[in-house]
Structure 1
Amino acid sequence: MARIPKELVDHIIQTADIVEVVGDFVQLKRKGQNLWAPCPFHNEKSPSFSVNPAKSLYKCFGCGKAGGVVQFVMDVEGTSYVEALKYLAKKYAIEIEEEEKTPQQQLEQNERDSQFIVSDWAKNHYHKLLLNSEEGMSIGYGYLKERGLNLTTIQQFELGYSLDSWDDLLKAAETAGYEKKYLEKTGLVVTKTDDQGQDTGRRYDRFRGRVMFPIHNISGRVVGFGARTLKRDDKMAKYLNSPESDIYHKSDVLYGLFQARQAIRTQEVCYLVEGYLDVLSLYQGGIKNVVASSGTSLTEGQIRLIKRYSDNVTVLYDGDAAGIKASLRGTDLLLEGGLNVRVVLFPDGDDPDSYIRKVGDKRFTDYIENQSQDFISFKTTLVAREASNDPVKKAEAIRDVLHSIAKVPDAIKRQVFLQQTSATFGIDEQVLITEYNKLVKSPAAKQSSGGNAGNYGNGAGSANTGYPPSSNNSSRQAPAARPMSDEEEAEMLMYGGHEATVEILGVGVSYQSTPSEAEQEDLPDMLKVCEREVLRLLVLYSSLEVETEVSVAAYLLNQLEEAPFKTPLFAEMWEICRQELLAGRFPDARLLAQNERADIRSLITDLATERYELSPNWRTKEIYVFNEVDMPKLACDNAVLRLNKVHVQRELDRAMERLRLPGLDDAEMFEILGQIKNLKQLDNQLAGMLGTVIPRGA
């Protein structure tokens, strides 16, 4: 992919007004320094979506979406970083001159562009035939009208018709000046071969006498076609799709997603159906958050597309037993992809298209709301009914359900599903847990679940359970203690959580023990907290003076070593800021938040946005509130002291670990005790400087 020069990227970002860009999609209202609106990415009544014009950043304090102006375009349009830059450049009339491509890159780009162009032309050709030709109007349009589709829907999805002719499209393309090779590469035209597979020189249209359904990618460009024959011929496939090409990979495309993506975000759920007409009928009926797998088995690429817009998917199953069985396998992939999956089953003989035409929009909406159930419960009930009283089938059905449960990443959900399965099949819960553990320990299950499933234990010795033992087990674990507040957790980590005394050579050494691994999983990492605070001050106030002609950036860089952070992303960000300062520039949060890397964009946005602002009334009432902008040196000193204190505590913990090693002689023990004493003194000094403890003897 050709790159846009950095200077041009910076120019686009500096020119783009985030208030104008966001304002194209939501209505912003000023409140304090920021502007607020209901979030465009999820449903809410009270606005929690904030835009900071000064920093050119946005953040939703409800769903967590955040970033700069480029990230907003990426989120709202579902585009790549480069496509978002091009969107902004077009909006602000900035001409993009991409860096020179290699001859091979240029050739590949030209090939792809040519296929996009010829596909778009074919779409327009088929659409005109549908609405303007006698055959198209009488056969194609007549069929769509019979299926209940109106002209608005037909035009919105750019439906078309291919004449029942061997070479109508081929001749029209040649007349319009399009090369045959691109018609062939996109599958619009087929090359006839002889029995030996040799090219006979004859070309003919792939699609003839069919209603055409253009397939769009997420950017709205036509990449392929689905086509339905209107002839009653058992030897002819009812539906025919474009073959794979440089621009069309069916495993990475969902029919209707281009039209549905905004509604999926707004409604926070994606309805998944099977066919083109299912999508069209539901969309016309007001259910716009609907996509189709187009008759193909669901793929991981398609699941990733759905997850980009929502974590919730509801599968609308046809009321056909054979079809349901085939679809169950694909739905397991949805679970494995971390999606929350629900299911709606239509009456036997009906599909979403036929049912909405039969009962109308309102009753259809009521039906899917009332009949929706979680996938595991649906599958459990289905296979339990089929197994009936056959013990062998019942055992197979239970294992089948357990396979699906194992694909659920969330431990609490797995727990609930196991309880439900136990109740549905009337089988002891502990038996299910035992069978589940056998399943997840098998190599095949571990590979298929991607390591998501955890073992479920039945006693105190079973770690990593996430699932309590059954009620008939006497070794049930005690309930968890009251969760600590954030302040309590931070205080515990900073100043120690468990007092302990070790008697060594008659000397009592008091220290704060390191939490166990299991405890650490539930505690915040104070080192990261302190590193983050230093980085936040560096990014937000880099140019602010702490002393005469000494900036926050220079002060922090001088106070700390070249690489003071252990957290990899923080260390990278520190180095980026250091290089900016060495180049004579202050790190600019506005530009850093538009970085090509998503993790850096997310970090900068998180550092630079706050939900609440200090009311100006505090100053009016002459009530003093510490403001780091007014006292940047104090803020920097406190942040550096806290970071140093955490490092000292880490060294103290390591020394205590060495002290517990077996086989130490007296000299080694006294050496370690001396280190511990010095570290404790340093720790107390730092605490005293921070004002967090009163030193002994004071």
Structure 2
Amino acid sequence: MISKSTIEKVFDIARVEEVIGDFVQLKKSGSNFKGLSPFTEERTPSFMVSPVKQIWKDFSSGKGGNAVSFIMEHEHFSYPEAIKYLAKRYGIEIEETEQTDEEKQKASEKESQFLVSEFAKTFFEDQLFNTTEGKQIGLSYFKERGFTTETIKDFSLGYSPDQWHAFTDEALKKGYQLNYLEKTGLSIVKGDKKFDRFKGRVIFPIFSMSGRVLGFGGRILKNDPKAAKYLNSPESEIYHKSKVLYGLYQAKKYIAKEDNCYLVEGYTDVIQFFQTGVKNVVASSGTALTPDQIRLINRLTPNITVLFDGDAAGIRASLRGIDLILEQGMNVKVCTFPAGEDPDSFAKNNNEVELKAYLNDNATDFIQFKASLLAESAINDPIRKAEVTREIVNSISLIPNEIQQEIYIKECARIMNVSEEVLFSSLAQILAKKQRDESKKKYAPEKPMALVKPEENQVKAEAVDPKYILERKIISLLLKHGHERNVFNDVVIDIDENEEIIYKNLEVECSVYDKIYKDLQDDETEFSNPIFSELHKKIEVELASKGKIEVNAFLQSLSQDEATEVTHILMEDEKEKLHRWQDANIFVTDKSILDPKEVVQTILSMRRLLIKEKVNQFGEKIKTNPNEDVFQILTEIKDYKQLEVIISKRLDRVL
């Protein structure tokens, strides 16, 4: 268990905009920040972060919360794991009691795999630095590559002994289950026999964006024609190679800072660049680039520079992957190295200044690069030239921005010596075909249409619950304005000397909290929604004791469901700011300013609803109890209906 004082320190020190900024590129938007959702595939920002309230809201997925809940959602951490992660990030010492064996056994399947992977990383590091074999073979190899001890430790590089089951035996001895060693691919199990997957290899741990060990890459050092040079962890519950980029954990803050990401192919390319001083670099680890990997980068920057060695055949094979980047609306540049050089060797043979100068001078816009590259292969061949031109226009058609499309068409026309009109016509044909295909896909029935009887398979739309809406509105008013004072126009019902009902207008100056509390007490109103009921009680205590709600501290006192609801309520007004209505001269009412009329109308609407419920109850009473005094009941119904008429008039509603 983590001590309460540690949790309080984490909440006090952790800044939600800093925590989320490690995973999402945030841009200032008024007093808030906005960015692309890390939970959905989107191109228009719908993710909002409020530094003032210390909360976030993702309008595309509906998720929201504070710094801790973001880490829980994004990294699939438990609450204690999220607290530990933030404590480590902010250098807070964690006070906790040791886990019992029973608590360890209760760890989830996924968490058990993470624990095994973390142990493996530590084991491999220890073998590299503290054993004779590790030093002579593994450490010597890394030193020959030019890696310093600091760099080796930055990337947690390691060594797996050249023995059949040295790692497996040590893991079992430490109490880790063979089941999880096999599921993570660290151990291979065949009947009664157990083998280490990475036997005799130097190890490259692969981290998540938050620094958790997902898997490993291993390079063999001896000549063995039967063994693969590089070996990766197999797919598992925690490791999906198509969704991971090597080096992203180390590079993420530099990518956001430089607003650019260099994309290379291998582990050593990343490490050598990082050591030389270019730290905004990641690798696809030998796999073809995937949309998931591209989205990881897009959350940090819209700019990618793809680095190739001088192998022309390899470059052409990679062009399709770059089309995926264009499709995401990102800006792509390409940089090639001199013949015989690759990113690893070039970074090793040049210092930081020379490397950065080369990258700046030789990075070319991708469309220009592709056009120039393909044009060379079509010299004096009209048919090939037509094919190449069509291929380049296809790439341009993937770009969502029409202005960029036009600029690239003109540049392509210049390079290929083809008229702009022909290229624009070709682009229009490609785009029209795409639109037709999408329409067919959208409207084509998945199965043959069948007649359905009216009474069967009818899905009824959920009825709107007016009480839920009003209760939520009351909670919203208390959260946002509970402490604010204002003048409220009210009506007092009285009896004159002729025993006629009269209504007197009355101005009351008080806080929103006092106004709502008094009126709900007068009406003996109870919340029907359990979450709102609990929130109402807790808000009352907070306002009565402190006079104001401190959002960050208040969220700590709530259950997960309550905290989620509070976050949704506090951030719902921010949604309008995402649309930039003011740019179109459409001005949205500022809902952060208290409107006393809104408070009164909410309470009146609640009263009107309660009256309707009361009248319905009387009606049921007459039906079920015919012996009751019907005249008296009808008189009460009449009085309630008169009151409903008065409230409806005040609400400008017609009965």
Same fold? TM cut 0.5: yes
Q: 2:410 maps to what in 1?
A: 419
User: Which residue identity does 2:165 align to in structure 1?
Assistant: D
Q: 1:544 maps to what in 2?
A: 484
1:442 and 2:426 matched: no
1:392 and 2:383 matched: yes
Q: 1:153 maps to what in 2?
A: 151
User: Are 1:170 and 1:205, in contact at CA under 8 Å, matched by a contact in 2?
Assistant: yes
User: Are 1:224 and 1:248, in contact at CA under 8 Å, matched by a contact in 2?
Assistant: yes
String of CA shifts for 1:475-494, please: whole Å, max 9, x gaps. xxxxxxxxxxxxxxxxxxxx
How far is the alpha carbon of 1:25 from its aligned partner?
6.1
Secondary structure of the corresponding residue to residue 347 of structure 1: coil
Q: Aligned partners of 2:438 and 2:187: how far apart in 1?
A: 42
Q: Aligned partners of 2:86 and 2:591: how far apart in 1?
A: 37
User: Are 1:344 and 1:372, in contact at CA under 8 Å, matched by a contact in 2?
Assistant: yes
Secondary structure of the corresponding residue to residue 380 of structure 2: coil
Q: Aligned partners of 1:187 and 1:88: how far apart in 2?
A: 25
Name structure 2 gaps, 5 residues minimum: 35-48, 58-62, 98-103, 443-473, 489-507, 517-528, 544-548, 556-561, 579-589, 601-655
1:364 and 2:304 matched: no
C-alpha distance 75-428 of structure 1, shift in aligned 2 (>3 A): farther
User: Which residue identity does 2:108 align to in structure 1?
Assistant: N
How far is the alpha carbon of 1:48 from its aligned partner?
10
User: Are 2:68 and 2:83, in contact at CA under 8 Å, matched by a contact in 1?
Assistant: no
Q: 2:455 maps to what in 1?
A: none
Q: Aligned partners of 1:211 and 1:283: how far apart in 2?
A: 19
String of CA shifts for 1:156-206, please: whole Å, max 9, x gaps. 1111112222222223223333322222111112234xxxxxx4x322221
Secondary structure of the corresponding residue to residue 225 of structure 1: strand
User: Which residue identity does 1:185 align to in structure 2?
Assistant: K
User: Are 1:272 and 1:316, in contact at CA under 8 Å, matched by a contact in 2?
Assistant: yes
How far is the alpha carbon of 1:585 from its aligned partner?
4.7
Q: Aligned partners of 2:141 and 2:64: how far apart in 1?
A: 47
How far is the alpha carbon of 1:241 from its aligned partner?
0.6
**Which sits farther off after the overlay, 575-584 or 238-247?**
575-584
Q: How does 1:247-262 map to 2 (within 5 A)?
A: 247-262=238-253
1:86 and 2:83 matched: yes
User: Are 2:475 and 2:532, in contact at CA under 8 Å, matched by a contact in 1?
Assistant: no
Q: Aligned partners of 1:386 and 1:158: how far apart in 2?
A: 44
How far is the alpha carbon of 1:148 from its aligned partner?
0.7
- Which of 429, 433, 440 is equivalent to 2:424? 433
1:318 and 2:323 matched: no
How far is the alpha carbon of 1:444 from its aligned partner?
9.1
String of CA shifts for 1:569-607, please: whole Å, max 9, x gaps. xxxxxx999989987958969369964799767545578
Q: Aligned partners of 1:576 and 1:375: how far apart in 2?
A: 56
Q: 1:21 maps to what in 2?
A: 14
Q: Aligned partners of 1:231 and 1:432: how far apart in 2?
A: 54
Q: Aligned partners of 2:116 and 2:591: how far apart in 1?
A: 59
Q: Aligned partners of 2:538 and 2:174: how far apart in 1?
A: 56
Q: 1:70 maps to what in 2?
A: 66
Q: 2:258 maps to what in 1?
A: 267
Secondary structure of the corresponding residue to residue 228 of structure 2: coil
String of CA shifts for 1:351-384, please: whole Å, max 9, x gaps. 1111111222221111111111222221121111
Q: 1:207 maps to what in 2?
A: 198
C-alpha distance 162-55 of structure 1, shift in aligned 2 (>3 A): closer
User: Are 1:422 and 1:429, in contact at CA under 8 Å, matched by a contact in 2?
Assistant: yes
Q: 1:123 maps to what in 2?
A: 121
String of CA shifts for 1:31-66, please: whole Å, max 9, x gaps. xxxxxx9xx96799xx9989998744699xxxxxxx
User: Are 1:313 and 1:341, in contact at CA under 8 Å, matched by a contact in 2?
Assistant: yes
User: Are 1:16 and 1:92, in contact at CA under 8 Å, matched by a contact in 2?
Assistant: no
Q: 2:469 maps to what in 1?
A: none
User: Which residue identity does 2:184 align to in structure 1?
Assistant: T
Q: Aligned partners of 2:226 and 2:10: how far apart in 1?
A: 59
Q: Aligned partners of 1:128 and 1:264: how far apart in 2?
A: 30
Q: 1:301 maps to what in 2?
A: 292
**TM-score normalized by the length of structure 1:** 0.58
User: Which residue identity does 1:152 align to in structure 2?
Assistant: E
Q: Aligned partners of 2:514 and 2:272: how far apart in 1?
A: 62
User: Which residue identity does 1:369 align to in structure 2?
Assistant: N
User: Are 1:162 and 1:212, in contact at CA under 8 Å, matched by a contact in 2?
Assistant: yes
Identical aligned residues as a percent: 39
Count residues in correspondence: 487
1:170 and 2:159 matched: no
**TM-score normalized by the length of structure 2:** 0.62
C-alpha distance 432-19 of structure 1, shift in aligned 2 (>3 A): farther
How far is the alpha carbon of 1:228 from its aligned partner?
0.8
For the aligned residues, what is the CA RMSD?
5.2
User: Are 1:18 and 1:53, in contact at CA under 8 Å, matched by a contact in 2?
Assistant: no
Q: Aligned partners of 2:232 and 2:408: how far apart in 1?
A: 39
**Which sits farther off after the overlay, 108-117 or 218-227?**
108-117
Secondary structure of the corresponding residue to residue 313 of structure 1: strand
Name structure 1 gaps, 5 residues minimum: 1-7, 27-36, 60-66, 97-105, 193-198, 452-533, 557-574, 610-626, 638-698
Q: Aligned partners of 2:211 and 2:592: how far apart in 1?
A: 46
**Which sits farther off after the overlay, 144-153 or 225-234?**
225-234
Q: Aligned partners of 1:418 and 1:12: how far apart in 2?
A: 61
Q: Aligned partners of 1:577 and 1:175: how far apart in 2?
A: 48
Q: Aligned partners of 2:244 and 2:140: how far apart in 1?
A: 28
C-alpha distance 122-551 of structure 1, shift in aligned 2 (>3 A): same
Q: Aligned partners of 1:576 and 1:310: how far apart in 2?
A: 43
Secondary structure of the corresponding residue to residue 322 of structure 1: helix
- Which of 175, 182, 185 is equivalent to 1:184? 182
Q: How does 1:102-113 map to 2 (within 5 A)?
A: 110-113=108-111
User: Are 1:170 and 1:204, in contact at CA under 8 Å, matched by a contact in 2?
Assistant: yes
User: Which residue identity does 1:22 align to in structure 2?
Assistant: R
